[in-house]
Amino acid sequence: MDLAKPHLDVGLYTDRFDAVRRFYEGDLALPYEELLKAGRGVHQHRFGLRGAVLKVNDSRGPLEEAVTAFRGLVVVDPDAQSPRHRTDPDGLDLALVPVGHGGIRAVGVRWASTDPDRLGRLLADGFDAEGIEDGRWRIGETVVMVEHDPDVAVGPLRARGFRYLTVQVRDVRGEHERLLALGWHEGTAPVRLGDVAMISFVRDPDGGWVEVSQRASLTGPLPEA
């Protein structure tokens, strides 16, 4: 995969943005970067996350609780001497860890799967993930920790909590088709969002959501719709 950025971005949905903002911007001191109007009653607030972007999608309407493949977030804290755990207002487990803890240099993601070996192969084949050890995979600078859960049945994209990851690429159409051929399932076909980005979604066999994004600020002018 031809990555346009060596970090995976983290996508949350919430219907209690004020509390979520206080947690990430106030308690964790993540820098606020920008607001994007995503449409369909959603404003996307973007925070810096150790080279990645924490995308908090603020829904005007109420959101449901639904199963997600993404069970936790691990963020490096240069001042940390040992791991400490926090829980965000929507219930996401977040660990702040010293640099290098568990091989993590920036951000780690806990990803649940009914078949960790299968998901590992899909990550390696689809995203050039490098196996570290004990179900850990490195994609660029992001570490994915695959956990076994025999009962994963992922719900819709638009629900409360940590719902998706974003990988930034240079050719969203080509990468989308390549991922489908490797065994990822289609979430949504590529669509152009004005002059900002062209995006698609793929899903793992349990339904976990991954956004594939070609962002003009990283790759230059977008292809025609």
Q: For residues 113 and 160, what is the distance between their CA atoms, to the nearest angstrom? A: 19
CB 200, CB 190: distance < 8 Å: yes
Helix (H) or strand (E) run with residue 19 in it: helix 17-21
Q: Are strands 142-148 and 136-139 parallel, antiparallel or unpaired?
A: antiparallel
- Which pTM value belongs to this model? 0.95
Cβ within 8 Å of residue 81, ≥6 positions away: 98
Structure tokens at 128: 């050039």
Task: Map out the domains of the chain with their CATH numbers.
Answer: 9-219 (3.10.180.10)
Helix (H) or strand (E) run with residue 33 in it: strand 32-39
Q: Which residues pair with 214 in a beta bridge?
A: 198
CB 157, CB 208: distance < 8 Å: no
Q: For residues 81 and 185, what is the distance between their CA atoms, to the nearest angstrom? A: 41
pLDDT of residue 225: 67
Q: Which residues pair with 39 in a beta bridge?
A: 42
CB 73, CB 91: distance < 8 Å: no
Alpha carbon separation from 3 to 49, 54, 58, 90, 141 (Å, rounded): 18, 18, 27, 30, 11
Which parts of the chain have pLDDT scores under 50?
none
Q: For residues 133 and 145, what is the distance between their CA atoms, to the nearest angstrom? A: 9
Helix (H) or strand (E) run with residue 73 in it: strand 70-76
Q: For residues 28 and 69, what is the distance between their CA atoms, to the nearest angstrom? A: 24
Q: Which residues pair with 144 in a beta bridge?
A: 109, 137
pLDDT of residue 85: 95
